[in-house]
A and B are shown apart, each in its own frame.
Chain A
Amino acid sequence: MKKFAEIILKLRTVIIVTTVLVTLILGYFIKDLKINPDISSYLPKSDPVVKLFNYIGEEYGGNQLAIVALETDDVFNKETIERINYLTQEFKKVEGVSYVMSLVNVLDIRTDEEGTLQISQLIDEYNLPETPQDIQKLKNYTLSKDMYRGRLVSNDSKATLIICRLSEGADKIKTASNLKEIVKKSTVKEKVYYSGLPFQMMDISEIILNDLKFLIPIVSILIIISLFVSFLSIEGVLLPILSVSISTIWTLGIMSILKISLTAVSDIIPVILIAVGSAYSIHVISRFNEELLSTDGDRGKQSVKALSDVSIPVFLAAITTIAGFITFVIGSYLSMIREFGVFSSLGIFFVLIISLTFVPSVLSLLPNRTKIKSINGDIVKKKKVELIMDKIGEWVLKNEKVIITTGIIVVIIMCFGIPKIERRVNMLDYFKPGSPIRLTEEMMEKKFGGSIPIQILVKGDIQNPKVLKEMKKMEDFLESQKDIQNPQSVADLIEEMSDVMGEGKDIPDSKDKVSNLWFLLEGEEIMSQLVNPDKTEAVIQAIITNVDTKQIRKMVKNIEEYIKEVNNSDFNFAQTGMPAIYQHLDDSIVRSQIQSILLAIILVFVCLVFMLRSFIGGLIGLVPIVFTILVILGLMGYTGIPLDIATVLVGSISIGIGIDYSIHFISRFRKEFDSTKDELKALDKTLETTGKAIIINILTVTIGFLVLVFAELVPLRRFGILIAITMISSGGAAIILLPGIILLTKASFAGDFSHFMNKIKQKIT
């Protein structure tokens, strides 16, 4: 290690220049980095639910709805109808929109007073109703039909919808913002709501950007201040920040070059690097300071000594963390999780390299002026910090039994919280109550039953009356479910047609009659959204209310059971839609994360056993990790923070942080123990040195992440809180629990049994 340190410090100029160059080059590539916020695209294309979902999207004109709702005293007035017509026509021209449906162009089947059959748009777009009588007539007619009431116009006729179906593969966010632009440019006087996933996605991206713009500066300033307070030197502030920034730039740059876009999971890589990676340089700096303080002499020699001492634990910590993150690559169902594993490992590898090359190079180059300043600073500081650490150490070393008992009690309490954890897949949860999206969805729920589409694919001879009747039954079943509204299929249109032919609102009993009626519907725009051209497949569309995940799960299961029951050789039902997709995605993420975390713990354990050459040592090293994961899960259960795509990632971060604390603490302890042969003295010294670095790390990262509590987006807030808890819990476990356990086990893992025996002998004599 001494050799390694010598080489590094010899090449320090080369290292600094290379680092800067590589950073500039990779930084240039970040401009091409793409962000993929479309959650539905995260599942592998081969997934059966996704396959069906995409299939319906391709064959039936898309499966995402962007809904614009207009609200006024009574939508049946001349101006509003004109505006609906205008927006309908304009929306049709937007790229990415395959169909638009509104009061004006919805298919209407009826007979007029003279018995003339009329299959047309509800309102003739070239001949909008003008007189109050015409408008009143239209209103009465529209509200009298189930096909429109509660679907396109609310029961109280105060709100109406313009529903845009987005074509498969369309850029949802871009299309949504184009639609919004059209509304904003128009003369709309009604209250406008934007509903449906494309608009929500657009808002989420905006909110995330706003949050980041507002929060990143605050987080940075707080981290800088707490680093400065800790080190009282410029390099103590700059180097941790630089090392994290450089490695983030390298990681993102390489992602960009490999054309891998940032997902909802991989976008926390910078966060992981801040939380885990800043510690590496903090340990290096702190060791350098220690060396400069304790010995007088040549800065070069001191540097070599400091670096060769600190590089082993830093290296081991990083390698173990990487091992932990690599588990995400193994056997994960979702490519985004694999990417996350690869690039967070890579990022940590970069922080490691930079902390052991660039950081010491800069430190060794610093003029003595800084040294004196930092000594002076640290002398003042030392007393305070040392006092605190002394007090902690004193207390810890006297009360190991109390500590361990408390620890066990905390673990037990937390274990009881775990079953209380909620699972939520509802995107609405991302928004604060009272935010425009929440208000929109509340309105949609109240007046139209919701905004999320679900689909049932029917396979069979669709013109066969039996199949149509079965579809009708399915619709009745769907409607009987509490949270499903407005099921619709070609069967409804056939019933309407039968009605206007004077045969009653029912599916005709012969196939001939069905195909005769079908003739009139052929070529209608809506048909391509409901049936395939060969008439061997059809889709039942419905809307679900935004309900909580438990209910959605139940609903999906109920439909599944119903389908199992009725499917036979004549026809076959299959369900898909956003709820199924989202739930499936969430399940996969949570499942693969939990699997990976378990695997990571095992792998970390193996690493620790190998490093410490002790089974018990490995178990002790795991304490901060397992303790923290239990605390987080327990608190999530008690506080109602749900397990979702964002929060499940905290587990992996706590592994990264936990290992580092363990390794630094234990390796320092062993080193001190080797020289003093006294666990109390060794622990005291470890707490004073490594303990201090850990405290600095906790302080810095915790304060930084607590700022996220002010984020607009709810998941970001929860994420901030959970990271803060993770830091405090794993740090606390390392500083308080670890020494307690080490004392209790009499440091047996250190392997020095002779010492152990000596100690007993001493006590006896």
Chain B
Amino acid sequence: MKKIILFCLMNVMVFAWQVWAQEKQFTGSQILEKVDDVVNAPRDQELKIKLILIDKDNKEKIRELQMLQKDSDKRLAKFLSPADHKGIGTLSLPYDIMYLYLPAFKKVRRIASHVKNTKFAGTDFTYEDMEAKRYSEKWIPELLKRDENHYILQLKPKKDVKTDYSKLIMWVRADNFYPTRIEHYDRAGKLYKVMTREKIEKVGEYWISKESEMEDLKAKHKTKMIIVDAKFDSKLSDEIFTERYLSR
């Protein structure tokens, strides 16, 4: 009997230790993996996005676009407004292949997307910020600390990774591993841009942020990205992610 009790007790202790250890055990890499999984969870998505560009005098400019994404590396974006952008489309495919469609010229041209620090369509998002890569592919994480609701990670670029940032500091929600705030530091190590994600909601079975913002502290310019409409896993065909579809 004593033995049984002892055995049970040991079991409980081992279990408790395991639980405790598991809780404690999340390394930076594990957290980042989970972040990637959460952010890239949908197999495909169909989003209607409103971009609000806010300059230093608080003047706003609005552009709307439709964005279709399949897996983490195929993405088609078409501008709906303003009038002078209407119909302009971009198509991103794996291996940094990118096409552009200009309706006034009725021409599709391949464009080089290797210039990461070019701003996308006047927003504060650079092509680097927009790329659909998993964080863990590019960054080496280090868990700085954990507060009540967040893990705070520091991400430093892996060797041979080309990036405009010297490091990122990322706040990750402890409950669902959704990143809520990412600080981007420039190569001088100065805080340069801050991305915040708000209105984190569950749509279907996926978490998304319906409102995110990127603020460029140097230019005193920010961009709000509002998801007006989101559909997931509607089995988008590969046909959509072709040059032909782009020019339609």
* A residues with CB within 8 A of B: 89, 93, 112, 114-121, 124, 126-127, 463, 501-503, 508, 510-513, 515-520, 522-524, 533
Contacts and interface: CB of A to CB of B under 8 A. Distances in A.
Interface string B109-136: 1111011001111110000000000000
A519 B85 contact: yes
Given A93-B188, A116-B110, A126-B162, A501 B118 contact: no
Contact of B122 (A463, A511, A522): A522
A501 B109 contact: yes
Contacts of B121: 519, 522-523
B95 interface: no
B93 interface: no
**A-B interface, 5 closest residue pairs, ranked by CB to CB distance from nearest:** A523-B119, A515-B84, A512-B104, A120-B115, A522-B122
Contacts of B115: 119-121, 124
B228 to A, nearest CB: 21
9 contacts: A114-B110, A120-B118, A501-B102, A512-B84, A513-B105, A515-B85, A516-B103, A519-B88, A523-B120
Contacts of B187: 89
B104 to A, nearest CB: 4
A148 B104 CA distance: 29
Given A112-B112, A501-B102, A533-B59, A523 B118 contact: yes
Contacts of B102: 501, 513, 516-517, 519
B37 interface: no
B119 A524 contact: yes
B231 interface: no
B55 interface: yes
A119 B188 contact: no
B100 interface: yes
Contacts of A518: 84
A557 to B, nearest CB: 36
Interface centre among A124, A516, A518 (most CB of B within 10 A): A516
A705 to B, nearest CB: 50
A126 B59 CA distance: 34
Contacts of B114: 120, 124
Contacts of B146: none
A118 B84 contact: no
B32 to A, nearest CB: 23
B197 to A, nearest CB: 22
B107 interface: yes
A504 to B, nearest CB: 12
Interface of B: 55, 59, 61, 84-85, 88, 100, 102-105, 107, 109-112, 114-115, 118-123, 162, 187-188, 190
Given A119-B112, A523-B123, A533-B55, 5 more contacts: A93-B188, A512-B103, A512-B104, A516-B102, A519-B84
Contact of A117 (B100, B118, B190): B100
Given A93-B188, A516-B88, A519-B121, A117 B104 contact: no
A510 B105 CA distance: 10
Contacts of A89: 187
Contacts of B120: 523
Contacts of A511: 84
B22 to A, nearest CB: 40
A299 B114 CA distance: 94
A117 B188 contact: no
B118 A516 contact: no
Nearest to B115: A120
B31 to A, nearest CB: 28
Nearest to B187: A89
A117 B109 contact: yes
B84 to A, nearest CB: 4
Contacts of A520: 100, 111
A515 B105 CA distance: 11
A498 B238 CA distance: 32
Contacts of B107: 501-502
Contacts of A508: 104
B84 A523 contact: no
B95 to A, nearest CB: 13
B61 A503 contact: no
Nearest to A533: B55
B26 to A, nearest CB: 32
A114 B110 CA distance: 9
Given A512-B104, A516-B104, A519-B85, A117 B110 contact: yes
A524 B118 contact: yes
Given A513-B105, A520-B100, A463 B84 contact: yes
A627 to B, nearest CB: 60
A119 B116 CA distance: 11
B84 A119 contact: no
